[in-house]
Structure formats: C-alpha cells, structure tokens
Homo-oligomer: A and B are copies of this chain.
Amino acid sequence: MKTKIIDAAAIRQLVRKVGRDRLMDEMIDRLTASFRNFDSAKTDVPARDGFKYSQPTVGLVEWMPSMNVGSNATIKVVGYHPRNPEDHGLPTIISTVSRYDTHTGHLVGLMDGTLLTALRTGAASAVASRMLASGDAATIGLIGCGAQAVTQLHALSRVFKIDRVLVYDIDRATMDSFYQRVSFIGLDSRQVRGATPSEIVSESDVTTTATSVEVGAGPVFDDVEPRPWLHVNAVGSDFPGKTEIPDSFLKRSFVCPEFLEQAINEGECQQLTSCEIGASLVEVLKAPDDFKQLKEQLTVFDSTGWAFEDQIAMDMILELAHDLNIGHSVAVECIESDPKNPYHSHTAES
C-alpha cells in the first residue's frame, strides 16, 4: 500500500523529459476531450470550500475535491496568499494534489499542484479562447504579469499564431521581467511590450486578466471600446468580492463560466444575474456549431479554477510519471498486516 509521491524534483524531471510545449499541448488536448465528454453522472465536483482569513495575512487555504465516480477521488488543497512574492519570495498560489482510491480509501498519489495549477489554468484559457476568440487572433493582452501570466501566454501561443503581446502589471518590475520569463515561447523582444490597461483592451484580440486585485478594488481596466471580437479570459477572480472586469463590459459580453456554481460565488458572474450568464465551457464544447458566431462577438471566459481540471491534470501527470518511471513510492499510511490491530507491529513497550 504505497503512495506515489511526485515531488518538486520529479516534476522538474518530468517537465525536462516531456518538454514544456508537449506538456501544455497534451494538457490542452486532454481538457478539450474531457470537457466534450463531461458527464455529471460520472464526475462529482462540489463547489470548493476553505478557510478565508485576514490573520496572519490576507489569504485562504481551500480544498477542491473531484470524484471520478466508481474509481477515485482527487483533492487539491490550494493556498492563495497575495503577499507571498513580496513577503516570502514565494508564489501567490501554492498547492498539492492528492488522489484516493474509492475502493479502499487508500492515498494513491500525492504531487505538487503548483505547476499543475499554472498549467491547467493556462490550458483552460486556451481551450476557451479557441472556442470563443477569433481564429486569427494575433494580438494578446495580459493584465497582470505574475506566475499565472507565464502559462496563460504559453498556452495561448500553442493555439494562436501570436504577432504581438501587450502587457501591464501594477508592479513595474513584474512588468519589466515578463519578457525574460516567456522568452522560451520564441517571440522577439520587440513583439512583447508594455501598455496601459486601456490600450490592451482596445488593441488586443484576446486579453487575459490574472491579477491579485484586492476584494472590492476591481475592475482592473476601464470599459473602453474594444475590438468587436475581443475575447477576455478572466482568470484572477476567484474569491468572494474579487472581480477584475467592469460590469458594463460583462453585461454586453457573452459570459461563459468555467464552473457555474463557483463562478456565481467568486467569479465575474458575481456581478451578473442568472439570465445574464451564458453557456458554460462544457456546453460550448459539446455543441460547437451552436456557438460559433461567438467568435465574432465580445466574450468573457469566467475562469475560477475547476477541480475537475485538477483531476484531469493529475491523471496526465500520473500517467507520464508512470511511463517515464519518475517519482518515488512511500508507504505513508500505517497499515498493519492484521487490519483489526492498529498496534500490530508495535511490539516494544515502554
């Protein structure tokens, strides 16, 4: 009864062996297929819950469960601490993911969820953008240039032929260091340049917002005149009261929630009534012909992070790690050879 542990070193080894591009491509492909085939009878995803606090710092620790019915349960535990980069030199989002066998309750696997979260969040935006943005989107805007922006741009670069990237961050140093962090994508340094949020929204074909804007402090851009087909991936809104998009912009856009139950509590959909909310990404993927006209319209993908995606991402990492013989196995649970004797092997006595 061992637990497969895929730690930081194993994740790095896996990324090196597979390559970032292939990993992202596979994540995009798997999410696309999983959304298309999504069956609520086979997957049980309750809305996440967690501890939200202002002491010792503003933050949250939340649990995101997802069950593959009849087979296994995945629980990602994710910390969101916007002061992490400044105060501790740590990412805002840190997480781990666990997998349980629902035949026995055994912890099958434990892995880093930090890179996995960045990967699947980027991939989900790419899937949504492929359905909702103009097919020849070439100008990408990024409002917020932190860790998530790296995988957002990487994922978009896998599905669009990018010509120009306009970036903005409230922190100048974060904005200035962005090109260096995404140089592996292969864009020329002249293709990536700073801009104001208004310039970004009016000039780009796809804009991703991924900020740590405080509760009540949004939106992160003014409702200026965009290209008529602008698609926005609203990634940062994932906390009650935290929103990034102007409500007037949302109200004239087709708003596609990633996971409706969560979006209305902590996403951009907080600003909308139920009749102002469009089809979910799963619904769009299941009937692409019904929604193809959206490519010509203003659209917003309301991404709050869906535990189902973590399940799919963990499947991918577990399979790759197995194929590449990466990670190590540890007997974590104290299982005695006599299941009715919790002290079985503890023969010595004080």
Tally chain A residues at the interface, Cβ within 8 Å: 96
A119 CB to closest chain B CB, in angstroms? 8
Query: Is the CB of A9 closer than 8 A to any CB of chain B?
Result: yes
Query: Is the CB of A63 closer than 8 A to any CB of chain B?
Result: yes
Instruction: Give Cα A81 to B101, complex, Å.
Output: 11
Query: Are A59 and B112 within 8 A (Cβ)?
Result: no
Instruction: Give Cα A111 to B334, complex, Å.
Output: 9
Query: Are A147 and B59 within 8 A (Cβ)?
Result: no
A169 CB to closest chain B CB, in angstroms? 9
- A319-350 interface (Cβ within 8 A of B): 330-350
Given contacts A63-B63, A334-B8, contact A90 B184 (CB under 8 A): no
Q: Say which residue of B69, B79, B184 sits within 8 Å of A100 (CB atoms).
A: B79
Copies assembled: 2
A262 CB to closest chain B CB, in angstroms? 15
Query: Are B79 and A105 within 8 A (Cβ)?
Result: yes
- A102, A343, A345, A348: which has the most chain B beta carbons within 10 Å? A343
Instruction: Give Cα A27 to B171, complex, Å.
Output: 49
Provide a sorted-by-A list of 27 A–B residue pairs whose CB atoms are within 8 angstroms: A7-B332, A15-B343, A15-B346, A16-B347, A16-B348, A53-B70, A53-B102, A57-B102, A75-B77, A77-B98, A77-B107, A79-B100, A79-B105, A90-B106, A93-B105, A95-B333, A110-B110, A114-B342, A115-B343, A147-B341, A147-B342, A150-B340, A151-B342, A151-B343, A181-B338, A181-B341, A181-B344
A312 CB to closest chain B CB, in angstroms? 17
Query: Is the CB of A251 closer than 8 A to any CB of chain B?
Result: no
- A46, A53, A330, A341: which has the most chain B beta carbons within 10 Å? A341
Query: Are B51 and A67 within 8 A (Cβ)?
Result: yes
Question: Which B residues lie within 8 Å of A333 (CB)?
Answer: 8, 94-96, 112-114
Query: Is the CB of A20 closer than 8 A to any CB of chain B?
Result: yes
